[in-house]
Amino acid sequence: MPIITLRGSPKERGRQHGLKLRGMILEAVTTLRRSMDDARWNLAQARAAVCLDQLSNVAMNIVGELDGIAEATELSTQSVLLLSAFEYFGEGQSGCTSVGLVQPGGAVVAQNWDAPAGAERHLAVFIHEGAQSLVTIASAGTLGWVGMNGHGLALVNNDLILDTSQDGLPSLVIRRMMLEQNSVDGAVAILRAHPHMSGRCFLLGDAHGGLRAVEVGPSAGLTDRAFRSVVHTNHPLFPKPAMWENVEEVARHYPSSRSRLRAARRFSLRDINDVEALLRDRSGAPDAICKSPSAREQTGTAFSVIFDCGRREARVAIGRPDQTDYRVIRMLHPADV
């Protein structure tokens, strides 16, 4: 997984992203285009155009970044946005395990991100430097799955199978909008301000020691709660979103979700070392927190990440963290830029 530093304005950072990963981005758009007929592709393009129009009023930095990627790859901005709009296509879900902890120096939020075999080949770590200080882990051409900014606000995310909606901004767009905030409260305000297309749980932490689990869905709306420590897998923990859970689909897509949650709850979380130990846990393997593919759930841990919000450090392990070391990426505070 390459580590790529991007500098300058949003459009300049997008151009650098596009130039560095041009082949991967073109391949991703080609694969997406071949997966549907003309009518469905044209509908997706129209939806992307509407989305970009909405973003031009609320998130010009994101539009600028997408424009930069488009310019470098000679694609339309709509086509680039579609790489970050998986909800438009009913993409299949993949399970993950997340954990959060409040330490004296700030919150820690972390995740094992599980995906089909080979998904790690399409990922990169992006370090954004300039007016916006940010680190994200993203598939080529996209806005990012998880991240932390220079203020020490970090987020990780788990899919939930609730109801779906055609209205709202794509989840990856909302995540980047949250990462323009400087605290958990600001990020939650972004989530409250926009309708959601499908079910998600976010663990949000900041350098001030804020830690919150937020579950969202089209009909359930938003439910959140502050924690000192929390673990989460792929089913709702709060009653209101749980009312909208598609239990049969969860059993099909995430059969290990509850066993992973039980394994995570066995850990006593006192410091970041306990978080690392949890993410390396192989109890119940192959369908473990540190996951490898199995007959019933054909996904494995593509990367593991630990965001130390107070220290503004990201620890990233490629693949299963029981098989590799974490690499530390340190960020600049905005006051130091």
Instruction: Output the six-digit token pair for 39.
Output: 């009518």
pLDDT of residue 312: 96
Evaluate the omega torsion of the peptide bond into residue 236 and state whether it is cis, within 30 degrees of 0: no
CA 286 to chain centre: 23
- With respect to CATH, is domain 90-336 assigned 3.40.50.150? no
Token pair 């689909």 is at which residue?
249
Judged on CB neighbours under 10 Å (0-12, 13-18, 19+), 37 is exposed
pLDDT of residue 101: 98
Token pair 């000679």 is at which residue?
74
The DSSP string of 112-146 is EEEESTTGGGGEEEEEEESSS-EEEEEETTS--SE
pLDDT of residue 117: 85
The dihedrals phi and psi of 320, each to the nearest 5 degrees, come to -70, 130
Domain locations along the chain:
3-87, 90-336
How far apart CA 257 and CA 280 sit, in angstroms, is 16
pLDDT tens-place values along the chain, 337 residues long: 899 999 999 999 999 999 999 999 999 999 999 999 999 999 999 999 999 999 999 999 999 999 999 999 999 999 999 999 999 987 666 789 999 999 999 999 999 999 998 888 899 999 999 877 999 999 999 999 999 999 999 999 999 999 999 999 999 999 999 999 999 999 999 999 999 999 999 999 999 999 999 999 999 999 999 999 999 999 999 999 999 999 999 999 999 999 999 999 999 999 999 999 999 999 999 999 999 999 999 999 999 999 999 999 999 999 999 999 999 999 876 555 4
Token pair 């297309």 is at which residue?
197
Q: What is the pTM of this model?
A: 0.95
